[in-house]
Structure 1
Amino acid sequence: MLTSGQYIGGDILHVLSQAHPDYEVTILARAREKADTVKQAYPKVRIVIADLDDSDALKQEAQKADVVIHTADASDHEGAAKALIAGLLEGHNKENPGFYLHTGGTGILTWEDAETGNLGQWSEKQYNDWEGVGDLTSLPDSAFHRNVDKIVLEAGETHGDVVKTALVCPPTIYGKGTTPGFDGFLGTGRGPLSSRSRQVYELASLILSAKYIPIIGEGKARWDNVHVWDLSQVYVLLTEAAVSQRLDPEIWGPQGYILAGAGEHSWSDIAAKIAKEAENKGYVPSLEKRSLSREAALEQAGFQAESWGLNSRGRSERAERVLGWNPSAPSLEETLPEIVDQEYKRQH
């Protein structure tokens, strides 16, 4: 069972369906046209039409599922997380636990910059999901996504014998995921609708349309990144661990907080490289750097754009140590030509 957004979830669906065609799949779709697209690409899946506010449907489907993978607005929708956990609790017991793979986001690590109002400043602070997992599970309540993180962490601590939780926390995601366009559940998995992430893509879109290189604050903020293909592998490895009833405490519960970064970038450096790529392709003239205020960034793309001035840095060791995760997809820099072409085509 997978509750998933079109971009991340669609890629997970593809990879899992290729690796494990025997898994029974149920998809939650919020629109009939998306459901039809999924059904055409994956005729064996079962589809439920509902949205994330339909707590009864979420709860009912979670009761039936052995594994729930949740990526549809997962980091910010309290009701969906509560309903899915409640359903798993009702449908499972100590002898037959359910598994909840929840998607957070490393926007949560920007809390210090957000509270101080620092934009674009250099920071040496780096979290660690192995040696410093306690720092991640005890972040301040004011941190972005923290309200939903707490719901998942509490379930893993209080009901860990019945519901095994893993909180996957991806950073900037890039790469063209091939998604069939669905919002829903995947049981115990690439298509045409949504293949676009946000942060880097909105940055490229702004550079192509406004024709300048945006710099927020001092332009020294750094962020981790991961290709969507590598991110999907984290979920595949976790799902395989769940299906095989691998109950290692290093995977689930209070220790199961997994940063999923594979590389790191400076926002100002990436902006300059996007501009250079666009210039080389003849999409824009030679561009100059220009200061972008927090307010203008928010107007451009909300938090996705404001994040260009915030630091979010974490060392991802847990997935490698306990799951054997070995990210191998093209780097963000290697993918920039694809991103620039994709955004140029969207505008023309």
Structure 2
Amino acid sequence: VGTGPYVHTGGVWVYGDTDGVVDEDAPLSPPRITAWRLENEKRVLARAATGEHPVVVMPGLVYGRSGGLAQSFFVEPGRTAGAVPSIGDGCNHWALVHVDDIAELYVLALNAPAGSAYAGVSGQNLPLADITRALSHAAGCPDRIESLTLEEAMQRMGPIAEAFALDQQFSGARARRELGWTPTRLDALAELAQG
């Protein structure tokens, strides 16, 4: 049995819609696409009781370096269709984290206590309307947004649309407090607009 640290990747989508800004102790209510993670992460963390050293890092929606899910499901379709898709009225929030900041959290998590779990979000809880507006600039169709119902989005994007439609806001304070994590890339909209 290994006792070295093992950092497991989860994701904040397992929390479902949050009621305002929450932390890792919020109730779990995953959309179907991430429901499988609950039992998986429970088994991973239970290994701390056997002397192993599991830690779970749950990234928010990762952006940066012209990659990530927003690029694949919003920017690329926007380039093709001439408008970036948006789900619902755009009032829901996405909890974002820059790829370089989340990478730093993974390194810090190697020294976290066994059985710990951290929401990897940088405190950038932005409305989808602002995000899709920024993504429309990256797609080359500034301010052209196509509003989709959840049903239309699911037909176009598949079950991940349920996750994109979540209203999530996270503090990310536990990783700052316990591990000294200091996200520094905090202008998501400017970076998303650049593509």
Say whether the fold is shared (TM-score over 0.5). yes
> 8 Å contact 2:130–2:189 — kept in the other structure?
no
Q: Distance in 2 between matches of 1:285 and 1:164?
A: 47
Corresponding residue of 1:284: 141
Q: Distance in 2 between matches of 1:260 and 1:326?
A: 11
1:270 aligns with 2:128: no
Determine which structure has more spread, i.e. the larger CA radius of gyration.
1
Deviations 1:116-143 (A, max 9, x none): xxxxxxx6433213xxx3x46xx36876
Corresponding residue of 2:12: 106
> 8 Å contact 2:93–2:128 — kept in the other structure?
yes
| Residue from 107, 111, 118 that aligns with 1:258 | 118
Q: Distance in 2 between matches of 1:229 and 1:201?
A: 19
- List gaps (5 residues or longer) in structure 2: none
Evaluate the alpha carbon distance shift between residue 99 and residue 261 of structure 1 in structure 2; reply closer, same or farther with a 3 A threshold.
Answer: same
Q: Distance in 2 between matches of 1:100 and 1:285?
A: 43
Per the TM alignment, residue 238 of structure 1 is displaced from its structure 2 partner at its CA by 2.2
- Equivalent pairs: percent with the same residue? 26
The structure showing larger relative contact order (alpha-carbon pairs under 8 Å, at least 6 residues apart) is 2
> 8 Å contact 1:101–1:166 — kept in the other structure?
yes
Evaluate the alpha carbon distance shift between residue 302 and residue 109 of structure 1 in structure 2; reply closer, same or farther with a 3 A threshold.
Answer: same
Per the TM alignment, residue 295 of structure 1 is displaced from its structure 2 partner at its CA by 3.3
Deviations 1:164-216 (A, max 9, x none): 1111000100111xxxxxxxxxxxxxxxxxx6211354212222222234332
> 8 Å contact 1:215–1:268 — kept in the other structure?
yes
1:311 aligns with 2:167: yes
Note the aligned Cα RMSD (angstroms). Answer: 2.6
Deviations 1:19-53 (A, max 9, x none): xxxxxxxxxxxxxxxxxxxxxxxxxxxxxxxxxxx
Runs in 1 of length 4+ with deviation above 6 angstroms?
none
> 8 Å contact 1:216–1:293 — kept in the other structure?
yes
Q: Distance in 2 between matches of 1:235 and 1:278?
A: 28
Q: Distance in 2 between matches of 1:227 and 1:196?
A: 10
Evaluate the alpha carbon distance shift between residue 207 and residue 149 of structure 1 in structure 2; reply closer, same or farther with a 3 A threshold.
Answer: same
> 8 Å contact 1:224–1:312 — kept in the other structure?
yes
> 8 Å contact 2:138–2:194 — kept in the other structure?
no
SS of the aligned residue for 2:73 comes to helix
Q: What one-letter code is carried by the residue in structure 1 that aligns with 2:13?
A: G
Evaluate the alpha carbon distance shift between residue 297 and residue 235 of structure 1 in structure 2; reply closer, same or farther with a 3 A threshold.
Answer: same
Aligned residues: 191
Corresponding residue of 2:184: 328
Decide which structure has greater strand share.
2
Q: Distance in 2 between matches of 1:314 and 1:330?
A: 14
Q: Distance in 2 between matches of 1:196 and 1:278?
A: 12
The 5 A counterparts of 1:1-348 are: 89=1, 92=2, 97-110=3-16, 113=17, 124-129=19-24, 133=25, 135=26, 139=28, 144=35, 145-156=37-48, 158-159=49-50, 162-176=51-65, 196-239=67-110, 241=111, 251-253=113-115, 256-262=116-122, 263-275=124-136, 277-278=137-138, 283-284=140-141, 287=144, 289-339=145-195
